[in-house]
Structure 1
Amino acid sequence: MSISTLSNICTTNYRFQNWAGIYSSNPKVYFQPTTVDQVVQIVKNANEQGRKVTVIGSGHTPNTLCMTNDWMVNLDKLSHVSILKAEHNDYADVTVEAGISSHDLNEYLSDRGYVLQNLPSINGPTLAGMISTGTHGSSAYHGLISSQIVNLTLVNGRGNLIFVDSETEPDLFKAMLLSLGQIGIIVKLTVRVVPKFNLKVTQEIIDFNKLIGMWDYLWTSTEFIKVWWYPYNKKCVIWRAQRTTDAVTPVKQKPFLSKKFYRFIYESLLWVSTQVCGRLTPFVEKWVFKRQFKSIGGLGEAQPEVLTSMDAFTLDCLYSQFVDEWGCPLVEGPDVLRKLEQIIDEGKKTHKFYVHAPMEIRCSNTTLPHSLAPNEAERSEVTKGAVYGNIVRPYLDNTFKLAEYVPTGDVTNNQLTLFINATVYRPFKCNSRIFEWFTRFENVLMDAKGKPHWAKNFIGSTELTMGNLVTSGYKDYQCRGLGRFIKDKYQTDLPIFQRIKMEQDPNGIFETNKDWLISNAIVE
């Protein structure tokens, strides 16, 4: 089957731009397959013609990993639900095509009494995209989204269709659960879902110093939790959510920034502070914080509201943005935050750089039980924790590793990963300067045994990059590379991942952005 026979699913004049609008590319051919067989034929044709192939979903990845001028495959039309099979009173396994979004799958499941167990803050990424990039939510009782996957089917670089799970091709399964799209194209997945549930949500304003004082017990105080840090205000907002059998409550007054007029005003102020006068940034943060959270009380004063899990997990990301996120052991958190506070204050004092708020602080528990059995017994509608689809740790997992699994009721900070997300807005799609701030941010996290989130805007340095070293000519926001650091941090797992990649994609057809892959040690 040649390209001409696939003409009804491809175009040659497509311009792809990621969600943030930071990067764009003009692929030679842009495919939107509607069947698995078409994906197989695309890969086989790419091998025959010596082309490179990259796969994109919703485009939320803010770095250049998916940029290509060669062949691009979008799976949005490969999004059918194949099977919903009830296995147990406490869960069901649903088999879907990989291009389905978390939003659309949840809509389908909700009508049938089920829901995805845990989600990231962004609404609508594809299942395949979440799995391939190590996406997570925020909970001391849940891990990566990939832990919900029972099995998957991929088209490898040879054009072979392969089914994998914990028992069938277990090494390949382990690599595919965080593959960066470098081993094969995921075309089907079976995901373990649970009966749909509501969440009782509270938000509380707290002083930054008080947050540090609560660190030892805060993160296990509820099933789902995240913190938004407003550094120039010296304040944080704690968001907590716990399962409940209570009915959904009427919507309260909409947040300040949900109104178009104020949203425009805030973006305009951000534009002035990033493009004209950086010294205004702290005042802009204080202005928006006061108005966005004026109805929220302090610690212990929260007025809870009950939302569906789908509505509760979703966060309004506001505007185009650069995002640099790292994970480190949660016990390192107080020291990390104190150092970042000092760096932010120094940046303000010297006027060298300013940061944007909020900085999102989250956690995950990626310790794994020895079997799936503990997750299936004695659960109720409000029981904390995951019903695992697998108990496999991906080779490229960037979370903190603890050898021993601890039962849900005994979770402590010692087995948790802290995720810190530094966001810098691009008001009206205009670039803001990030190099000075992100470099210092990354240095602190590296010292704290941290690792970068693969799909974010990490910067790295010319001292840490791999391949042909370039010491100048980088744009402010351009990734220099972290290859030497990554090679050291993944000493055992990275070589195994690279071997599996070579076996499954011997011609390197998925290596579309090879400079990025080399500079970050994914390929040599």
Structure 2
Amino acid sequence: MNKQAKTWSNWSGSVKALPKQFVAPSSIEDVAAVVQFCRREGRKLRVVGSGHSFTAIAASDDMLMSLDGLQGIVRVDKVARTATVWAGTKLRALGEALFSHGLGQENLGDIDVQSIAGAISTGTHGTGVSFGNISTQVIGLTVVTGRGEVVDCTAESHPEWFKAMQISLGLLGVIVQVTLRLNEAYKLEYESRRLPLADCLPALPRMAEENRHFEFFWFPYAEPCQIKIMNMTDKAPTSRKVKDYFGEVIMENAFFGLLSKTCQWLPRTSRAISRLSASQVPVGQKVEYSHRLFATKRLVRFHEMEYNVPAEAMADVIDEMRGALQKERYHVHFPVECRYAKADDIWLSPAYGRDSAYIAVHMYRGMPYKEYFAAMEAISLRYEGRPHWGKMHTLQGEALTSRYPKWDAFQEVRRMLDPDRIFDNEYMARLLP
């Protein structure tokens, strides 16, 4: 179970840490033993999935636990359309495993390398005005608390604990199993097209309501946007491996990676390359089972900040961002990703109590991002913005407390389940002192 400690880095390379000890348990009993040891010895413990958060949320200079030894399906109820899965299961593998039982998740994000526990702990989401984030699909959790106790938690058995655990930031315990509410496996028809931003913004409410899934990518300094929509269909899947490989791997990754390197070497080319990228947005349609369509390959590494604002504020925020970019001329060529999500009642969910728009800004790894991110963050905060927990932001302590009506209730559950704060790290202690 113990492995030699070495330098750990997240996916983007923005965070590095040197834990004293690295553990990879293979059973619930192993997890409980580690937690009990940490509590007894006064050690600190953080849990890591795929390291796809852009912050130091998983970093540890003491003990780091990987859940890679806890993967796969535990049990499936096809009649009730539920499944219990090990917390370390990666979303890509989970999609195929559920599909083999004729089941699928109702919605997913556009990256599928995360573990299911990491995805729900940070509030990972997809897009669609009828769907909440992935945590809203959770109906049960098995957690090893900071006391070293194994708890099976549902909305019925522990209503307040459950609302805190659905998005817990890894502060209440180690999630070891997750029970999900599912759909029968279904197909989606995907369409990508270009639309001028001037036409896109007024049409946002209509496009969001008319499509099961709708998002758009706005390229700074360019007029064309990429519109992505997906709707359920009975059509047969389209087999286009060569075309998809060329579009997703060659154009969207290899070619875009080369353009990104150019921007790094010659930052003044960023505006021209943003316009070039917008002009090359792929246009087309395809049909596939849902879990194979939600995610896209992300081989070009970047830093990301994402804010949740009220859904009705989407167009105004984008308009202000566009004005700031025209004024300051930041060297950025990555598109701004814009999605929607339904309101929920999860205590630390950015979508708590409001239908939401999520707006994400990116910067190629190796290029300066702080001034650009700070300007975009300031705009989001003027619209009651709440940061995505797995993405970069500068808020902490009181600045966060005022944005979450159930903040104090979460902290009370935290005191009950982790009285010794063994799940703290330096970063989390600043966010939730």
- TM superposition score category, shorter chain reference: over 0.9
In the superposition, the TM-score normalised over structure 1's length comes to: 0.79
Report the number of matched residues.
432
Structure with max Cα Rg: 1
- 1:457 aligns with one of 355, 376, 392: 392
- 2:407 aligns with one of 473, 476, 494: 494
Q: Matches of 1:263 and 1:366 in 2, distance apart?
A: 33
Q: Partner of 1:44: helix, strand, or coil?
A: helix
- 1:159 aligns with one of 132, 148, 153: 148
The question of whether the paired residues in 1 share the 8 Å contact of 2:396 and 2:430 is answered with yes
What is the one-letter code of the residue matched to 1:271?
A: K
Does residue 223 in structure 1 map to residue 212 in structure 2? yes
Q: Matches of 2:26 and 2:320 in 1, distance apart?
A: 50
CA offset at residue 260 of structure 1? 4.9
Q: Matches of 2:218 and 2:24 in 1, distance apart?
A: 40
Q: Matches of 1:441 and 1:499 in 2, distance apart?
A: 33
- 2:337 corresponding residue in structure 1: 360
The question of whether the paired residues in 1 share the 8 Å contact of 2:346 and 2:352 is answered with no
Does residue 269 in structure 1 map to residue 204 in structure 2? no
Q: Matches of 1:322 and 1:164 in 2, distance apart?
A: 34
Q: Partner of 1:219: helix, strand, or coil?
A: helix
Q: Partner of 2:280: helix, strand, or coil?
A: helix
- 1:401 aligns with one of 353, 358, 371: 353
Does residue 125 in structure 1 map to residue 36 in structure 2? no
Q: How does 1:432-447 map to 2 (within 5 A)?
A: 432-447=367-382
Identical-residue share of aligned pairs (%): 25
- 1:320 aligns with one of 295, 301, 306: 301
The question of whether the paired residues in 2 share the 8 Å contact of 1:144 and 1:366 is answered with no
Q: How does 1:81-96 map to 2 (within 5 A)?
A: 81-88=73-80, 92-96=81-85
What is the one-letter code of the residue matched to 1:444?
A: I
CA offset at residue 394 of structure 1? 1.7
Q: Matches of 2:246 and 2:281 in 1, distance apart?
A: 5
CA offset at residue 142 of structure 1? 0.7
- 2:417 corresponding residue in structure 1: 504
Q: Partner of 2:381: helix, strand, or coil?
A: helix
Structure 2 CA distance for partners of 1:190 and 1:266, relative to 1, 3 Å: closer
The question of whether the paired residues in 1 share the 8 Å contact of 2:350 and 2:387 is answered with yes
In the superposition, the TM-score normalised over structure 2's length comes to: 0.95
Gaps of 5+ in 2: none
CA offset at residue 40 of structure 1? 0.2
The question of whether the paired residues in 1 share the 8 Å contact of 2:224 and 2:279 is answered with no
Q: Matches of 1:284 and 1:219 in 2, distance apart?
A: 29
- 1:485 corresponding residue in structure 2: 399
- 1:116 aligns with one of 96, 105, 126: 105
The question of whether the paired residues in 2 share the 8 Å contact of 1:44 and 1:159 is answered with yes
Q: How does 1:71-470 map to 2 (within 5 A)?
A: 71-88=63-80, 92-251=81-240, 253-254=243-244, 258-260=248-250, 263-264=253-254, 266-274=256-264, 276-293=265-282, 296=283, 303-348=284-329, 353-367=330-344, 393-399=345-351, 401-402=353-354, 416-426=355-365, 431-458=366-393, 460=394
Q: What's the Cα RMSD here? A: 1.8
The question of whether the paired residues in 2 share the 8 Å contact of 1:344 and 1:354 is answered with no
Q: Matches of 1:263 and 1:314 in 2, distance apart?
A: 14
The question of whether the paired residues in 2 share the 8 Å contact of 1:227 and 1:236 is answered with yes
Gaps of 5+ in 1: 1-8, 297-302, 368-392, 403-415, 461-480
What is the one-letter code of the residue matched to 2:296?
A: L
Deviations 1:286-310 (A, max 9, x none): 23333343xx2xxxxxx53212211
What is the one-letter code of the residue matched to 2:348?
A: L
Structure 2 CA distance for partners of 1:319 and 1:196, relative to 1, 3 Å: same
CA offset at residue 97 of structure 1? 1.4
- 1:373 corresponding residue in structure 2: none
- 1:40 aligns with one of 32, 39, 44: 32
Q: Partner of 1:253: helix, strand, or coil?
A: helix
The question of whether the paired residues in 1 share the 8 Å contact of 2:220 and 2:322 is answered with yes
Q: Partner of 2:139: helix, strand, or coil?
A: strand
